[in-house]
Chains A and B, each alone.
Chain A
Amino acid sequence: MANTAELTHAELDNIIDPPALVQGKDDLASITDTVCNVAENKPPRAWYIAFLISLGVLGMLGASIVYLVITGVGVWGNNQPVAWGWPIVNFVFWVGIGHAGTLISAVLYLFRQGWRTGINRFAEAMTIFAVICAGMFPAIHVGRIWVIYWVFPIPNQMALWPNFRSPLLWDVFAVSTYFSVSLLFWYMGMVPDLASLRDRAKKKMSRLLYGIFALGWTGANRQWHRYERVYLLLAALATPLVLSVHSVVSFDFATSQLPGWHTTILPPYFVAGAIFSGFAMVVTLAVPARALFGLRNLITMRHLELMNKVILATGLMVGYAYAMEFFISWYSGNKYEGFAFVNRAFGSYAWAYWIMVSCNVLVPQIFWFKRFRRSIPVMFVISIFVNIGMWFERFVIVVTSLNRDFLPSSWHYFSPTYVDFATLIGSFGLFLTLFLLFCRFLPQVAIAEVKLQTPHAHAHHGDDH
């Protein structure tokens, strides 16, 4: 075990005074029990209900995709000039959601923020599933999905490569890299816990499956040593991705010459927005999950409060970006640019803009008050507001910029169709189905890491001090 880590935690404990990150009477064994019991015992009835609903919604997604592929992209509301509609909005939305996981896992790990342990597994899983949802949208939004593989640089008889100048191609690389690193990171961190599940498994099948994925983990000192090294390396690898993925996604817009897209502020603004929405989604999911699976002592009020602080901070950044966009569009003296932003706030989609501002900038201000920051119902409601607001942010960026660009003759209103709704709602079905499966079968909390945060883990150090 890395001494450095222990030392750091000790130092941290001095800096951040309790409330402890693990509360209650949990000892090392009971933590394992708490987490593993979820996977070992029958889930609560609520899980079944939620899973059935999610499956139904997932089915709706499947049906709408089948309909889409059979009929054509015209089943959506996309038109000329709004050639990108909800699918791209949803894509950016989900990629944004997928940000918190890596941030919590990698960046906070590197900064030795011990409080991450309660929620990191959870957030990482959310990342994986959100990126799956995100990746689906660009794939189904193209006109000819059956040749989508042309975006990959596969050697072919036509000697044709993708166009490396296209930001969409950068997207392909950025998102797929992010996905693979996140997946690896998540899985890597889970190996010791999978071994615990394997060791505790009573049924042959679970023993076999957990065994395969546990990769023969025995908890040997050497294994722990290598594990820590790899984890650190992966964390270092993943950290730049937190910045890069959403920056690259923002390039789709920033490098185009469309007024409203063509702004240099987009990369940092997108990253801040992504963290904002990602944390909001973690709160949205963590609040019911900790209640449902009895993890209140592991995902504590302190965790939630810290996340709410992040939401408040990134919300302010996003608000700053909104204001700065307006300032720059005015300051540039470019009439098209100026119009694009005035149109956002006061044009035909003003309602969407003000929903965005209300949800993302105004509503989170309530977190200045500790009372609300620590109130479960308040944070749950606000996290949902933030999710809605961030979806609308992407809607505002994509649709309002496109619907009125340079030539007024081409201006056209965009209205979504029922298939747009079915696909968006269906993507939540996909997300929740995967998430519920994760909750049911995999350790939701990083057992090994949480143990480091228990008073037990620090007890003997306390003597040293």
Chain B
Amino acid sequence: MSSLNRSESTRTYWRSLRQLEDSAEFQELVSKEFPAGPEGEWSSTSRRRFLQLMGASVALGTASSCRWQQGYIAPMSERPEGWVPGTPRHYSTCMEIGGVAEALTVTSYDGRPTKVEGNASHPSSQGSTTSYAQAATLELYDPDRSRGYARYEAGSEVPASEEEFRQFLAANVRPKVSDGSGLAVIAEASSSPAMARLHERFAATFPNAQYVEFEPLSRFNEQAGCATLFGVPTRPVYQLEQADIIVALDDDLLGQHPDRLRVARGFASRRRPEDGAMSRLYAVEASFSVTGARADHRLPLRGEQVGAFLTALENELAGRGIGTASAAVDQGTFAEEHVQTFLHALAGDLAGHRGRSLISVGPGQPAAVHARAHALNLALGNRGRTVEYHDASTVALHDPADLRSLVQSLNSGGVDTLVVLGGNPVYNAPADLDFAAAMAKVEHRVHLGLYRDETAVASTWHVPATHWLESWADARSWDGTWTLRQPLIEPLWGGKSVAEMLGMVIGRGVIEGRNWTRSTFREEFSKDELVWRQAVQRGFMPGSGLAIAGAASGSAPALQHSAAVQAAWSGSGSVEAVFQTDHTLYDGRFANLGWLQELPDPLTKLTWDNAAVVSLATAEALGLADMDEVEVELDGRSVKMGVYVMPGQATGTVGIALGYGRSEGGHVAGLWVDQVDSVGSNTYSIFSAGAAAFRAGATLTATGGHWPLASTQDHHLVDEMGMQGRADRLGELVREGSLEKWKQEPDFAQHVVHHPPLKSLWDEHPYEGYRWGMSIDLSTCIGCSSCTIACQSENNIPVVGKEEVMNGREMAWIRMDRYFSGDAEDPKVLNQPVGCMHCELAPCEQVCPVAATTHTSEGLNDMVYNRCIGTRYCANNCPYKVRRFNYYNFNKQLDKPDRGVEKLGKNPEVTVRARGVMEKCTFCVQRIQTARVDAHNQGEQIQDGAITPACAQVCPTQAIHFGDLNDEQSAVRQKHDNDRAYAMLAELNNKPRTAYLAAIRNTHPDMTPAEATTTHGGGEEESHG
């Protein structure tokens, strides 16, 4: 610039600047903190400057050979019409777990699926997703997936080909089992019409073959219980939006139910006090569930007491003229006063809301309890309003006991070919069946699976399965809606879908997934090509739900309870083991997915482990403490686990999650042959087949060892003083109140913290364009933690592993804070999702020495990874502690050639962060930019709702809203203006852009503890209303 000063033209330039100085336009430019861009600085280029720049460019250009390793991109020689490289496409598909479909819309970049979302138009998902579906891309690109056929000979693995396998089938299987005798198939539960059709062909070909569907966890008991009433397999479908009173008996309706997305959405619709009458949720359960955490009243009872509780409830209701009394229970047996109060309140509520109440029972309870509960639903007149019973004959779940008879014939030598169509029975079959030993007696053991897992290595042949994102199929959602599964990518490692595999076994022509699905559709719905194409595009067929079951004709059997059942646990003697589906790993099939392993359990906040969960009283009685290694013995079998002391676990029970302790799970879950230790303990080893998921008679013996557990919320080390400090501030951080309080003072949440007027030392930014903000409704948030996984998938957040979680270096951008309040044995739970608040006066921005975190003109608190040098000062100064630091290169494994396939799953819109930089929630800035480009191309403003961050999109209860706070009509602005809205730690004058809406509990007047007030002392923690 110095050369410019000397030239004549520069003087002109300066003269004009002086003229400009006084103009309003110039004043505005000066006052702007965010000028439009640097054009002004560069536009007037002198000859010298030009030569300087050109010289430097040439020098740098020639030096480009010193750069990083180069990659080559081959352009498509023939680009498909309408295909714009780098532009995402969205396809409808579905995922089936346990015979229930979850309808999805999957985003694909240049042919590789990267992000899973819910299918917004599907009646059951309505745009939301479960954590399992979110993690699907990680599973698809899991480097540990089976990459080809294999034979197992004398314990060693021999690579094989499809051709060899076909020859094997032709030579060794089909001739021997001409009518199917000696052939057995174990399949996973399926609701697929195409599979049903294929099964018919299978049964016709091999009439004497055994075909068993096995799921370690299913809602079969519910189906069986309803069947005693309706005569046919029946499936209750809940309408929580209609229910005033909801009773979840050992049922995690919101967290584990196959239809939980729709259930939770319906529930949430009745939890915003300003939207009409709130529902009241009662939960009776042994282990704390997501539902129990959200319940207005929760009663911890042992699993075996739940049936007795139901009987007592029936008796209470019979006293009010509803249903019939069940004679088996002596009314006085639940001696504890709080149970009595609970029963009275509940019975009163149910009697007062006939036809607007709902009783649901969890899959772990015996069929008889289900039958009694649904009989009560009928007696209460709930059918057709809050619950509808559908005829589930076409999608009936199979009795898990079928496996027992199969094992008997395996043991008797009646089977010489066993085909395992997916599933992993060697790992997860009930321990008392000793499935592995029975299977070993079979001569030909064929396994189809995504991984070379425990069952694969116990087989003689392994066939790689296609992932559901790689193959055609169909399935039905919980309400029966026919949902299509279409592939988004060619099978990465070849392989067969379940239908294709079964077709190979049948051997009458080749079954090809797409054609078979298509032809089934033709038979089932329409031959019209247009209908098919619409179905493919939409992903489902509207109105294809299950038929409503006929009138109930049967009656439920009376429940028998021993007198001891209702008694409180005496503190000695046996403990009841309560087995539960893991919140993050399901039955263990997702054990190799780091995202899910590292997703904290919604209640225990444990990652990378299952633990023996006991209450404080149980732990004291048994002399156990957190992280003690304990041997859990049940029915003569035992397993070693770590102890986790959990407030609210029913006293006298131990909560045990299934799905851990894999020995052949993969490099994440555990792979003993490669010296990769199992994550957690294999609790299937003490899980026996039975009518219920709980079993008394467990003993817990401390081994004296220490079992480190990685919890993301450090509850272990909190001392007395820390507890007090937490209790003092909790009511300010997570604000909640009863419905009564809200009615009296709707804006009570805004008067919790009193602080002097918050003044700014300088003129604040006007934010004249967009002003992005978020709102989170704590009243509807159920704490399911799907947002954490959705964010991880969207934003390429790395997995750090158990050790680093224990070191406190987990990377989640949005975390689910969980606090307890009240009595340690029966606490209330408060959930609070916390991501970056994008403070207008962000403390992090002030302290960064290199200005790597800065503010945009729209109020985003941007993180410039390239500029970050990693002083971590910003993290220290963030009062919400939402900043995450790359302490190591957490993406190092991507550079390993054999794990590079993982790269395909990364979101190309988001930088994969390097070691040594800070990162945090960006409000999904890439989605904002996409919406901006779209709006710009349309020549209009960004419309409200055009931007949905990943966390908001996945949320089943729509607790999270995002948008422009300057737009008076936007949803997020409405939420910010809500009386319940408050800013966490607003007294620091950060001006956070995220507003929380206070949680409202609709408690029963009889059980409302003196207006949830500030009673200090006594409990572990207290809360402010």
Contact = CB atoms under 8 A, between A and B. Distances in A.
A223 interface: no
A93 B847 CA distance: 21
A408 B851 contact: no
Contact of A346 (B721, B834, B868): B721
B819 A168 contact: no
A141 B876 CA distance: 14
B888 A74 contact: yes
A144 B916 contact: yes
B881 A80 contact: yes
A142 B817 CA distance: 29
Contacts of A255: 846-847
B877 A256 contact: yes
Contacts of B871: 138, 141-143, 168
B915 A148 contact: no
A168 B847 contact: yes
B847 A407 contact: no
Contacts of A404: 722, 725
Contacts of A79: 807-809, 887
A405 B733 CA distance: 13
B879 A406 contact: yes
Interface string B922-964: 0000000000000000000000000000000000000000000
B985 interface: yes
Contacts of B722: 343, 347-348, 404, 408, 411
Interface string B851-872: 1000000000000000111111
Interface range for A: 35 or more
B794 to A, nearest CB: 21
A413 interface: yes
B1008 interface: no
A289 interface: no
A151 B38 contact: no
Contact of A71 (B809, B818, B888): B888
A346 B850 CA distance: 37
Given A163-B850, A168-B849, A404-B725, A80 B885 contact: yes
B894 to A, nearest CB: 16
A162 B851 contact: yes
B340 interface: no
A168 B871 CA distance: 9
Interface string A135-170: 000100111100110110000000111110111110
A162 B869 CA distance: 11
Interface string A407-434: 1111111000000000000000000000
B868 A143 contact: yes
A151 B849 contact: yes
A252 B819 CA distance: 32
B779 to A, nearest CB: 19
B714 A411 contact: yes
Nearest to B873: A168
A335 B729 contact: yes
B889 A72 contact: yes
A143 B850 contact: no
Contacts, number: 179
Contact of A256 (B41, B729, B876): B876
Contacts of A339: 725, 728-729
B821 to A, nearest CB: 12
Interface range for B: 35 or more
Nearest to A157: B56
A336 interface: yes
A343 B870 CA distance: 28
Greatest chain B CB density within 10 A among A148, A159, A165, A411 is at: A411
Looking at chain B's contact residues, the main secondary structure is loop
A143 B728 contact: no
Interface string B884-909: 11111100000000000000000000
B491 to A, nearest CB: 37
Given A73-B887, A412-B714, A342 B729 contact: no
Interface string A267-288: 0000000000000000000000
Contacts of A43: none
Contacts of B880: 406-407
Contacts of A71: 888
Given A151-B849, A347-B722, A77 B807 contact: yes
Interface string A382-419: 00000000000000000000101111111111000000
Interface in B772-804: 804
Given A72-B916, A144-B916, A150-B869, A409 B851 contact: no
A412 B988 contact: no
Contacts of A343: 721-722, 725
Interface string B163-181: 0000000000000000000
Nearest to B882: A410
Interface in A166-215: 166-169, 172
Given A79-B809, A80-B884, A257-B843, A409 B818 contact: yes
Contact of B916 (A73, A169, A258): A73
A82 B714 CA distance: 13
Contacts of B818: 409
B1011 to A, nearest CB: 22
Interface string A116-128: 0000000000000
A280 to B, nearest CB: 28
Nearest to B811: A80
A83 interface: yes
A67 to B, nearest CB: 12
Nearest to A85: B872
A81 interface: yes
B870 A257 contact: no
Contacts of B847: 165-168, 255-256
B726 A72 contact: no
A332 to B, nearest CB: 12
Contacts of B807: 74, 77, 79
23 contacts: A73-B916, A74-B809, A80-B809, A80-B881, A80-B883, A81-B876, A84-B872, A141-B871, A142-B869, A143-B869, A151-B869, A166-B848, A168-B847, A257-B877, A258-B879, A348-B719, A405-B881, A406-B881, A409-B834, A410-B881, A411-B722, A412-B714, A412-B808
Given A84-B876, A150-B867, A256-B847, 17 more contacts: A74-B887, A81-B876, A83-B883, A143-B870, A143-B872, A160-B851, A160-B867, A162-B851, A339-B729, A343-B721, A346-B721, A347-B719, A348-B719, A407-B881, A408-B718, A408-B722, A409-B817
Please name the 6 residue pairs, one residue from A and one from B, whose CB atoms are nearest each other, closest first.
A143-B870, A143-B916, A74-B887, A79-B808, A83-B872, A409-B817
